[in-house]
Structures are given as C-alpha cells and as structure tokens.
Amino acid sequence: MRILSCNVRLDNPAVDQENQWACRRAWCCDAIRSIRPDVVCTQELGRAQFLDLAAALPEHGSFGMADTAAGRAPMNTIFYRRDAFDRISAGGYWLSETPHVPGSSSWDSDCVRLANWLRLVQRTSGLEFRVLNTHLDHVSQAARENQARLLNEDAAAYPPDYPQVLAGDMNSGPANPVIAAFRDAGWGDTYGAVRGEADPGTTFHRFLGPALDVAGAKIDWIFSKGRARATGADIFRDARDGRFPSDHYFLWADIELVR
C-alpha cells in the first residue's frame, strides 16, 4: 500500500498571493492523484480545502477532527481507499497536557496541534494496521519534544509487533532530538530504510523548489513500526508551469504488512 504525507499549506491569500489555494487547487489535487496513494495524510487542511480534496478523491473515505472546539477545519485529515480497506475505528487527541480537551495547547506551542488516527484492515491480506497523522509545532522545541512523547506513549499501548505508521510534518530535521525520540521508541524512517540515511535535503521549500537558497533538512516524515516494512519511498518534487502544489514537497512510502 502507498502512504502519502502532504502538507498542503493553509489557504492564506494575503501572504501567498499567486500561490494561494485558488491558484494551485487543481494542481495540488492532480499531484496527489498522480501519486496513486492508498492512504493520504494531510496537514494544514482548512474546511474549503478539505471539501476540494474530498471531491478530487471520491474513492477515498476520510477522518479528521477539527482542531478547535467549535472549529470546522479538519487540519490533519486522513483519506483512505474504501475499496482497499475496512475501517475498524478512528480517533484523535490534542498534543497538550490535556489531550482530550478540544483546542488545548501546552509547552508554549505556537499553534494548536493534534493527532488523528485510523485502524484499518487491508482487504487483500486481511491484516490490520494503524495510521497516525500529525503536525508538530513549528516554533517551540519543548512543545515538539512533548508532542512526540505523547505520540510515542499512545503508540506504546499496542503490542510491539502491531503494524503502525506515523506520518506528518514534524518540523524537525534528522539531527533534532524529536527524531531521536521517535527512533528510540521503535519507529523506523521509511525513506531512510529504502533510500539510505543520507538527508535528501529540505522538504519545506516555500514555493521556491530548487531555487530555495537556504540549506535545510527533511522535516516531513513517514515512520513505521511493528510488522510494517517499507519497500519503496520517494519525494514528489514536480512543478507545473514553474509552480508547486504546496510550499512542502510531498513524501510517500510503499509499505508491506508482514504476517
């Protein structure tokens, strides 16, 4: 199965101007479809953007909690192919000291951050797995480390061999203690498992692509643990007429569930 992680960039016309959602909506939807994902983990997905992607992915079901108590933006929505998977359960929590209080945040997190998850059964194999999707804070290192801790504690509730996938914008490069914490908790980087551990370069390019003149590291990740093995991985760097579908490159991994 192919897992895609994509920070689609929130709709911010005043800042993004020619890169606002209305100008790249069709290209972003086409790009996601061209990767042929079975599961799509999105970040920064506003309500209108969710409706556009849901229309572009009619074969996919979805789950995503709104980020605030009375909000309507399912920021970290997960899409999944209904013909490939049966859904067992779904849930989520806020990455804070009060994870079941909607809209809560802690540790000087600049934004409200949360995680959504799905438990699915792969129809071809009958095997069950879990996928988590998140977006860690972009400002506070203390928040990122504590948010990672909550994700690890959650995943540890499952048996060690239970297949799990963790995808998202971690706002953390390979040298960040956040990534070490994930590795220490048993998560393996799918891209590194397939392509080698050398850092492929930044996945946040600010709509500039290769023209970005600031060095950076991969901050978007797809991890796996338990009976889930990466068999392929790549970073989607395509442009159309010099424009990119988002300010992040999209990342995908092919994962095989092992009996």
| Cβ–Cβ < 8 Å for 63, 39 | no
Q: How many domains does the chain have?
A: 1
Measure the CA–CA gap between 119 and 85, rounded to whole angstroms: 10
Range of the domain at 188: 2-257
* pLDDT averaged over every residue in the chain: 97
Write out the E strands in the chain: 2-7, 39-43, 60-63, 78-81, 85-94, 114-122, 128-135, 164-169, 188-189, 220-225, 228-236, 250-257
Instruction: Give kind and range of the element (H or E) at residue 31.
Output: helix 21-35
Model pLDDT, residue 199: 86
For residue 46, give the 3-state DSSP assignment.
coil
Q: What is the pLDDT of residues 149-185, one digit of tens each?
A: 999 999 999 999 999 999 999 999 999 999 999 999 9
Model pLDDT, residue 215: 72
98 to each of 112, 135, 150, 178, 232, how far by Cα in Å? 12, 17, 11, 20, 37
Measure the CA–CA gap between 53 and 7, rounded to whole angstroms: 13
Task: Indicate the pTM of the whole model.
Answer: 0.97
Which CATH number covers residue 188?
3.60.10.10
Measure the CA–CA gap between 134 and 149, rounded to whole angstroms: 13
pLDDT in tens, the chain (259 residues): 999 999 999 999 999 999 999 999 999 999 999 999 999 999 999 999 999 999 999 999 999 999 999 999 999 999 999 999 999 999 999 999 999 999 999 999 999 999 999 999 999 999 999 999 999 999 999 999 999 999 999 999 999 999 999 999 999 999 999 999 999 999 999 999 999 988 899 999 999 999 987 778 999 999 999 999 999 999 999 999 999 999 999 999 999 999 8
Model pLDDT, residue 197: 87
